[in-house]
Copies of this chain bind each other. A is one copy, B any other.
């Protein structure tokens, strides 16, 4: 239907100019104020050469600046390539080059992470510029137009750029609204990274619903609890490890009745944590989603959290799911690969036609995750993409770490799996086969240069050989079994 939307921020500022848009630690903006700031940013960016259809990297920490820049890029008609600032210089260089980004907008403190191949626009300096540039603000967003690109690895070892359209983000916000409801007084606490879909999706919900964001640069259990207890926050997005720390900090306090949703991503919440949440009046909505589905696509409502422990719930209204095995749809309780369908799902990977083609069958996206659906339509996720490690809410792909390990002298073979960790949920564990003895510290230093901190293995074990099948495919399951045996010793 070739649908278009009125420019979201402009329309929101027109409809409800005086409602709170964002409240950060040191400032508060209404939608009208935010829109005026963004109009100024648009001028600044155009005067720095940013043009329609440009791919522009965004290397920033959660901040009002970052919200302004993202909206401004949409108003210019440029595509925002959202970069994880925890990545190493090498990882960033790869993503920027792959994305064909012509410029990167960054905070000054992060500029050192960028090489000389790309035009760097330091947002802190932009503030001083006031130029009389003629702006032709984008009045309408097209549903099938790419708004953002986010990198995710998968099994290939090299990150792929996920294309997220305005239609994807819109449908995600609407699907979530039909599940969680919309209340004009809502305030959504945003302490997960804006460069991840979990954070970015809150920015879209804010402007589409007309509700305020309470913004934090980073997770801080004490400050977040204070915002919930004293500052009218009604919804918070977290990963399990954050929820745990918030409950510890909360002590004997309870959340106010107006608090209506703790949206928890990154795997099922353990039963004891759910029980603790119940006693503190915290309705936990567990979700399952990924960069390719533009945030949550399956959600478990609190009314089912104790009846369906371990389930990820049911799809959003606009979405569908099924379990497939060898081209056949599975019966209830039968295990297979989780397929999902709906308007929140990416149209593919940037410049990766093969990966895009392999990722879909008749419009259904193959998540690569294993699971089953019970006889009442609830999804149970058994294993994320067989090899995915989720560490403190960040996705860690073993193949990416293995690639780096294999590039180190004397490393002949490498295999990485996740191991349970009290603080982070999971951390990477590396198994190596080497041709000579190597120094553990040297190897870790090498990894730290090339991999974001959360990807660097926490443990290394040296083996004679790695378990591989006849076609030489690494058997990560066997490595995990090895770990379980080792731990039970």
Contacts and interface: CB of A to CB of B under 8 A. Distances in A.
Interface of A: 1-3, 5-6, 11-12, 14-15, 143-144, 165, 167, 174, 177-178, 181-184, 208-210, 314-315, 317-320, 343, 377
A315 B12 CA distance: 11
Contacts of A314: 14-15
Contacts of A183: 181, 183
A240 B265 CA distance: 47
Given A181-B183, A210-B178, A317 B11 contact: yes
Contacts of A317: 6, 11-12, 15, 208
A208 B177 CA distance: 11
A165 B317 CA distance: 19
Contacts of A14: 314, 377
A174 B2 CA distance: 17
Chain A interface helix/strand/loop/mixed: mixed
A180 to B, nearest CB: 9
B318 A6 contact: yes
18 contacts: A1-B1, A1-B3, A1-B165, A3-B167, A6-B318, A11-B320, A12-B317, A14-B314, A15-B314, A15-B317, A15-B377, A174-B174, A177-B182, A178-B182, A178-B208, A181-B183, A181-B184, A208-B317
A94 to B, nearest CB: 31
A210 B301 CA distance: 14
A6 B317 CA distance: 8
A47 B357 CA distance: 42
A254 to B, nearest CB: 22
A259 B395 CA distance: 45
A343 B3 contact: yes
A318 B320 CA distance: 24
B209 A1 contact: no
A317 B177 CA distance: 14
A184 B179 CA distance: 9
B5 A318 contact: yes
A374 B315 CA distance: 43
A12 B377 CA distance: 12
Contacts of A177: 177-178, 182
Contacts of A208: 178, 317
Q: Which 4 A-B pairs have the closest CB atoms?
A: A181-B182, A1-B144, A1-B143, A182-B182
A164 to B, nearest CB: 13
A362 B156 CA distance: 46
Contacts of A319: 6
B178 A6 contact: no
Contacts of A144: 1
A319 B4 CA distance: 10
A183 B183 CA distance: 7
A150 to B, nearest CB: 20
A459 to B, nearest CB: 42
A209 B3 contact: no
A167 to B, nearest CB: 5
Given A14-B377, A144-B1, A209 B178 contact: yes
Instruction: Name the residue among A14, A143, A167 with the largest chain B CB count within 10 angstroms.
Output: A14
Contacts of A184: 181
Nearest to A315: B15
